[in-house]
Amino acid sequence: MNCYGPKELAAAFRTVRNNTLKVAEEIDESNYGFEAAPGTRTVAQTLVHILQAPQMQEHIQSNKLQTLEGFDFIAFFGPLMAEEQKPHSKTEILTLLTEQGEHFAHFLESLSDDFLAETVAMPYGPSRSRFEMLLGVKEHEMHHRAQLMLMERMLGMVPHLTREMNARMEQMMKARAGTV
Domain locations in the chain as residue ranges: 6-179
Phi and psi (nearest 5°) for 64?
50, 40
Share of the chain above pLDDT 90, in %: 93
41-87: per-residue pLDDT in tens?
Answer: 999 999 999 999 999 999 999 999 999 999 999 999 999 999 999 99
- In the three-class reduction of DSSP (H, G, I as helix; E, B as strand; rest coil), residue 156 is classed as coil
**Whole-angstrom distance, CA of residue 82 vs CA of residue 77:** 9
CATH placement of domain 6-179: 1.20.120.450
Other beta carbons less than 10 A from residue 24's beta carbon: 22
- Confidence band for 2, pLDDT divided at 50, 70 and 90: low
Full DSSP string of 73-109: HHHHHHHHHHHHHS---HHHHHHHHHHHHHHHHHHHH
- Confidence band for 142, pLDDT divided at 50, 70 and 90: very high
Predicted TM-score (pTM) of the model is 0.91
Average pLDDT, the chain: 95
Residues 6+ apart with CB under 8 A from 4: none
In this predicted structure, what is the pLDDT of residue 89?
97
Other beta carbons less than 10 A from residue 123's beta carbon: 10
